[in-house]
Structure 1
């Protein structure tokens, strides 16, 4: 067996060997601090949306859009594909860049994000999954951040190996200086830059940035919620995770979720690889071209087709209704 297949199978085995209980005592103990901060953030974001149509300058709105894109890449290319799944390797300059992008996104530190995500894959859609989709759409989208963790999440989380992330000097820096560094990258600079360079008001700069932040959060949350509720399952019909092209459009290519859960070590996170809705793959490919990213892992086509035949639901790669008969697509 080829070395990359052995490595891929080893990674898959790591995710699939242990399954936590599917059901157990479920107490919704609200974390009021999170409820208040999320509540304020969303009200402020709605006000920011209003300001975009009334008084905010176009440069401020454009900056918000640019920060939305780079923050998404900090999650998709950084926390997800590089650090959580180790689907490729990055040289120090790219790691630092992605850490900065990840800090602009502010979805906790990358260390915590990776731990939660590895738990999500190992115990997917069970009570040990931090955002267990079987507990409802709202819970898997944002509710899991508003209540205390299920006992199984805490118990099984202790078995997650993320020592490689804890030993990463770039991510150790982010974690050690999380409050000043992430706070500056996510909130201070995006507010100060419009005020200093083109005379935006504090009110507009602050609220438009909070709109950007809220939108980037919800884009990521859609992978946990919508991509576990709607879509097709061409690779493994037994998984809750589904193919959802709409989610891919909003998350720079993260919505091919049935494929991703079937083959979590593929750096493309999609069977279509480098396509027009997979900006993250294009980003990684660019840095591979200049030599900052390397050892990109992919899944051989024959292995993909074999998995489709063995466990898929018969739908196509795109999930638009075509049927797959093992040789060709049939409408």
Structure 2
């Protein structure tokens, strides 16, 4: 699969997963006006969302049984036991394509990955070669170590890697290369500590120590060398400009979001990754510059710190829909 195709699959998987989740909530019996408004915002956000919703609707209706004007007479001639059997078969038949859609979404989003974290969860572990791997919230990684290379496939989210010397270097004097691959390219660690983040649009690598070689899929013959303190964002078309890494790069691994003159909208977008639901601000305060350290394991506390320090207030439409407004 080409990088462009992988990106499309990831987008489609995310949309179908979201559509299935919204459908389940709409059928729960407790879908209120606020949730309906949130669903409408999601539905109108993109053509991909509308297409995914239509797919779920099609699956639901395609096996809905006989037309209404035939269903009554047909069922009146069937015993209660047989009607129950037909209903059971209908449930099974409907569940099968939905399960298939769910599996496609799960594969695209990394639910079948070797290592993954839930929303709001962070995790650090030691790999087989002694390297340290930290997974940020809602991240998924496949580990593929063999005799030729040490490879991590980042399927979604963000990771931090501190590489160790290859224990097999005695057998192979140069050691196995340590690689992190995303849908947009490959990063080769040259004895280093670095972070890699990926989404449907592109990937970003930031180097904390030593050097990383980045090879965008679009330009495999033009790798880019990043030194400590540098970062690069790249996508299906290639790499952008090498820039200075943010001062707070990697602080998420310690549980803090450190903001230095960060726009409020950007700060809330980062905090939103660590909680379920909608978190956003009024346009009038989106550009407000924020500096401070905010705990990632308790986003409610972060919002409280925000409103105590700046002229802001939170407005909760529901438990899962919070907006920040001017005080």
Question: Structure 2-normalised TM-score?
Answer: 0.29
Which protein is richer in strand relative to its size? Answer: 2
Structure with greater Cα Rg:
2
Q: Which has the higher contact order (CA 8 A, sep 6+)?
A: 1
Higher helix share: 1
TM-score by length of 1: 0.29
